[in-house]
Structures are given as C-alpha cells and as structure tokens.
Amino acid sequence: MYDYIVVGAGSAGCVVAARLSEDSKNKVLLLEAGKPDDKQEIRIPVAFSKLFHTEYDWNFTTEPEVATGDRRRYWPRGKTLGGSSSLNAMMYVRGHRTDYDQWQQAGNAGWGYDSVLPLFRKSERFIGGNGDTAFHGGEGPLVVGSQTSPNPMTKAFLAAGESLGLKRLGDINGSSQDGVALTHVNQYRGRRWSAADAFLRPALKRENLTVQTDCLVQGITFEGRRAVGVTYQRGGAVLSERAGRETILCAGAIGSPQILMLSGVGPAAPLSRLGISIVADLPGVGENLQDHLTSGVSYECCKPISLASAESLANLARYLLLGRGPLTSNVGEALAFIRSRAGLSAPDLELIFAPAYFMEHGAANPPGHGFTVGTILLRPESRGSVTLRSRSSEDAPVIRPNYLAARSDLDTLIAGVRYARRLVATEPFAAYRGAEVWPGASVVTDGELAEFVRAKSETLYHPVGTCRMGDDRQAVVDQTLRVRGVDNLRVADASIMPTIIGGHTHAPTVMIGEKAAEMIAG
C-alpha cells in the first residue's frame, strides 16, 4: 500500500509527487498514461510541433460547433512524463495579478496574488536576462530564463510595439503586464526544461517514490465515500493500488473530470444513463471549460531568415555544440499584452510573434519564409464542457469548447487581428514584410474578418476550469482542492481554475502543484 497515489505526471503531477516524496516517511506512487519522455524532439525546442499526432500526444478532437464553422478542432495534450510541459512552446507567462485576486474574491481564501507569489518563486530558478528578484526565485528546480538566440524579426516586433506606444518590458512576469517583451522560456542550455526535468527526474533516486508509465487509470476506488485507491490498465492487465492517505488527480482539464465521472463523481443523471453508480452528485464536474482561442495574421518574409531553415546542418551543429541558434527557438519568441478598449482592469488580448508561419498548428504552412503574429483571446466569456462518451476510459470524452458563443469574444479577436496588422505595417517590419498570406489583404470588413476568425481560429492549448474550485453548488473542489462530497480525494491541476488566467497555463499549474503539496503535507 502507498500513502499517496498521484494520477498524471504533467505540470502539476510531477510537482506533487516530487514534493510529497521529499518526506522519506511518505510512500508515493505516480501513474502516467503515456510513455517515458525519451524522444529527441522533446529536448529540441523548435521541434515541439513534430510531437503532435504522435504517441506522445493524447490527440484530442473537439465536437463541431456552429459558431466556429462546424469544424472539429485538434487539441494536442502531452501524454508522457512532463505532460504538456514536454509538448508545449515552453512559454513561462504567469498572467496578471488580478487573475489570482479574482479567484480569492470568488471564495477561495489563500489563492490571491500575494498568497501565491511565494509559490511561484519557490519553484523557480531564474537565469539570465532581466528579472526583478521580488518576483523571481533563484533556488528552485524549474529553470526560467530569456532566450539565447532570438530571431532578428523578433527584435523588429519589439520595436514595432514601441512605435505604437507599447511599453518595452524587461520582465513579462514582473510588476506590470501591459507592454511588449521577449518571452521567458523553460529552457536550460538551449534545451527544453519540462516539469519532469525540473521536479521528477531529481526525485527518482528516492526509494519512497515509484513512477509507472503506460498506466491508463480507469477510475477511483471507493469504500462508501472514501477514496482508497485506483484501478488502471497496464500491459493488457487491469491492476489496482491502494492509497492509505490520499489520491490526487493531476490528469488535466480533460483527464481529471473524465476520471471523476467514470468513478461516479459528477452529474448524477447523465452518469446514471451510462450505467455508472453514483458516489457523489456533483453537477459541476466537466462544466466551466475555458480555453484561449487564437487567430492572427501571417506574412511572407522578404529575407531568408525565418525558422524555415532552422534544421540546416550548420544550425544543428551550433545547437549540439553551443546550445544556441534557431533550434533553441520556442517559436513564440516575443509577446505583447494590450487592451482592446478603455476601462478594462487588465489586458484582454495577447499578441505572440513567431518568426515562422504557424498555420493550423504548423500543419498548413506554405513553403518559403514567413512570420506570424498570433492574437489570443485572454478572457473569454464563452464556457464549454467535457462529458463522457461512454463508460470506457479508452474512449476520449466529448469536448465542447463552445468557442465564440459570446459575441464579445468574436469582437475582441477581430480587434486583435486589426491591431496585429497595424504592428506589421510599422517601419521596423519594412525590411521583412512581404505579402499578407493569411487572412489576405482582401479580407477587410468586420464581416469578412469574423468569417476568417470563425473558420481558422485554433486553440492555444490552455484548457482549464472543468473541476472548478469554489464554495457553491457548481464547485467541484474546495479551496484546499478536496473533492466535495467524498473523502481522501483531491484534484490539483489546471482544471481547478475558476477562471482562465491572462497568461499561459504551465506556470500557474506548477504553482497549483506546489500549493497542493504544501496543503497535503501540512
């Protein structure tokens, strides 16, 4: 028997398992559905999209929805040690102070910005570049730093932002978010530094930590309303393990609600129709799904300096010998946070600059050199859901993001596309700017832009909210992340976010793991 069973070795699960195993009296089991993180493309930053649609990816697909052109949208999620931190663009962007204060104001004491900032600093080892020590840590395991080899066009993007009146920020995770800056990345010596690299790998030497891969959890085992362990598939066999103290779900915004519902914790009526015995009737499980939707503009580049030539032999040698060059690019090399209208308490749009085409996750890139300015809807009003397709853990759940159901979301993205065009039209881009490839110079009116956004927008890979933290009937977990209505079961991952943050979700998910571990240990 183990003291703790952690399900999912992603951005939070690696933290929880590693921190709990720091106490030699705790016997910890970490179960991961995917394989070990041993593929070369995981290490090479610019190659992250080559992991899409592989065995290291859950390869989810959303349901078609009228508001977004009846398209099924591809949702990559990491299925390996490190989870999506082994598959993402390595962008470390915490969000705005008000994001966390809003969580606290919604009834979650201890989750305000001033309370969680020490947890961000605890995780972090900030190296290189500008960084305010009031906001950054220097002793933690998670390496955060500036990029080693930004593209010349990335510098043009920064100058373009300044020409439009944006403040140049030395630290995107510092005291202010409004402005334009280089992206902070999770890299060490030019290579990806995932949650597995930071937290899990150093902990593997501990005898009290067991990590098993290729383990698909079927459900939580209950005795009455008390969680006592899990059942899972491995190598064709169905196995079970018991947890004497707690089971902690860290399977993400899709996996955690799916496992809860398969275990009889969720909305009673639909689960009963599938023949699932109800342990706790929690109608909020799987609801409140939020994600960052992205659109943007792409242009031909007049000079052969984009990431299209990153994989040359010379660049490979530079990368292997020095840990520098375009293979270290995270693609999203710089960003800007802006407000689409006056009166907002925080930016509602993010612009990400990529010195490359990045159309349909990179799958629809035209030949040649280009660049992209992505526009991201930071605070969507629309809410979606994750529901069960069947009683089998092998069947992917039904994902309905409900993108653009709120007209304000569409209007904000249209404003973002227009602003991106203004940026590219500035003098700093003159030497690089070719023809507009996407959506194309002929797409001008609000109606035409709306059609483009509906048809071509994609996920920025940030689903959250489906096991929402709160103190009301729809909340799934309380402020200590305990699942309501049952005992000895917590959720600790991006699914607990009441509202999506105005940044990127890896950083706050690591923080959630840190806070969960402290609460469990305390």
Give the CA distances from residue 35 to residues 187, 208, 406, 499, in Å, rounded to whole numbers and listed in that order: 22, 21, 39, 31
Task: Specify whether the backbone of 234 is left (phi greater than 0), alpha (psi in -120 to 50) or beta.
Answer: beta
* 136 in catalytic set: no
Omega prior to 439 cis, within 30 of 0: yes
Instruction: Quote the CA–CA distance of 488 and 499 in Å, as a whole number.
Output: 25
Its sign, for the CA torsion 42, 48, 52, 58, is positive
| Contacts of residue 127, Cβ cutoff 8 Å, sequence gap at least 6 | 143, 144, 145, 188
Dihedral (C-alpha) 385, 390, 392, 396: value to the nearest 10 degrees?
-40
Its sign, for the CA torsion 218, 221, 227, 232, is negative
Pairing of strands 370-377, 349-354: antiparallel
Give the CA distances from residue 358 to residues 85, 297, 316, 344, in Å, rounded to whole numbers and listed in that order: 19, 10, 21, 30
Give the CA distances from residue 377 to residues 250, 363, 374, 411, 416, in Å, rounded to whole numbers and listed in that order: 26, 22, 10, 10, 8
Instruction: Quote the CA–CA distance of 363 and 192 in Å, as a whole number.
Output: 22
Instruction: Quote the CA–CA distance of 269 and 266 in Å, as a whole number.
Output: 9
Residue of 292, 462, 504, 506 with catalytic role: 462
Count the alpha carbons within 13 Å of 86 in the hemisphere toward its beta carbon.
Answer: 31
Give the CA distances from residue 275 to residues 144, 271, 282, 387, 388, in Å, rounded to whole numbers and listed in that order: 47, 7, 16, 15, 12
Q: In the chain, how long is the greatest CA-to-CA distance?
A: 68
Active site residues: 462
